[in-house]
Structure 1
């Protein structure tokens, strides 16, 4: 049996009546929306840092644990949604499985190596807490893409869809990609602005002949 030749044929293989599909899509969209809203509020009001008695490191780790937990829930809901969807014979067989495992391997490599490079606070929005890195990370996988965690996660979604042989998984993966591309458009300029402000303050301190000290006031 051949692959679907049009979007109409593909969507015919997706059971949109399954509530689990909509729940999975909602969870995928919710996660980056949640952490962007919370992180920006933290940057402007320091409400999480205040909640943890002024300890911004602890506040950042708490947000990291929350984001990680939400990711596990999102993955569980995605797998459950796939189980409720019809399979397609064209998405079965050894070649598709090899492609699935390759996508999962590369995707997880991107996610794990980027976390290793950035550390916990660098990965989980420490910039918004005032925990800034010394400079831009340029090593692998950031020498390949500026958003390895997002693209790695997208590859893992696609790999899982192929492994299950579910056309619905491919559709959800497209949803994941769109959500992450939108998130990047919001996050990158804001993060760049945080570091630009730090660099400006450093330059002003240097020009005044004073040592630069990060502002830690709440």
Structure 2
């Protein structure tokens, strides 16, 4: 039985400094917003800095959004310099799939932002800005974490559109990073809401 020659596939995975930096930016973002949100919850430093929990949350939201734009641009640029896998990925069917995934991913992200609002999307609960009730409509009725999963689909769609195998691996890394982030976020958010009488800001 002849062994499989994996070297011909590895040539399509170029772990260069650009892709390494893209991975750094992908890792940094959820680490950053979890640390900052926890510090705000414990010390209210953004609330004190801006004079209001709402302004503090908006400042964090603008920062997270800007970091996300920067991360996406770094990822996009790094992908363009990766080898293209023409035999299987560079065709009309895969590009059509990429369009569908990108569209659905953005629907999940944008609809969840609309349903949650700015403070609901950008960790307002750490500022004592709690939602009155759990959002159960679309897209939360089909996905518990539409923001993270939608973002992951957009990463994957971009990789498929450009036919870059490394992009597929990076998309898997994005998925794993978001899962790790949820291990920290979900229990803590549940704790805040279980004790909402203590942590909710009544006079915002």
TM-score by structure 2 length?
0.93
CA contact (8 A) 2:129 2:200 kept: no
Matched, 1:46 2:44: yes
- 1:10 positional shift: 4.5
**Bigger Rg over Cα:** 1
Q: Which residue of 2 aligns with 1:67?
A: 64
Matched, 1:85 2:82: yes
After TM superposition, what 4+ stretches of structure 1 lie above 4 angstroms from structure 2? 5-10, 213-217
Segments of 5+ residues of structure 1 without an aligned counterpart are: 203-212
Q: Which residue of 2 aligns with 1:15?
A: 14
CA RMSD, Structure 1 to Structure 2 (Å)? 1.9
- 1:84 positional shift: 1.1
* Residue-pair matches, total: 199
- Where in structure 2 are the equivalents of 1:144-163 lying within 5 Å? 144-163=142-161
Partner Cα distance (1:122, 1:141) in 2: 14
* Counterpart secondary structure, 2:195: helix
- 1:214 positional shift: 4.3
Segments of 5+ residues of structure 2 without an aligned counterpart are: none
Q: Which residue of 2 aligns with 1:179?
A: 177
Partner Cα distance (1:35, 1:59) in 2: 13
Q: Which residue of 2 aligns with 1:210?
A: none
- 1:144 positional shift: 1.1
CA contact (8 A) 1:10 1:167 kept: no
Q: Which residue of 2 aligns with 1:138?
A: 136
Partner Cα distance (1:64, 1:9) in 2: 44
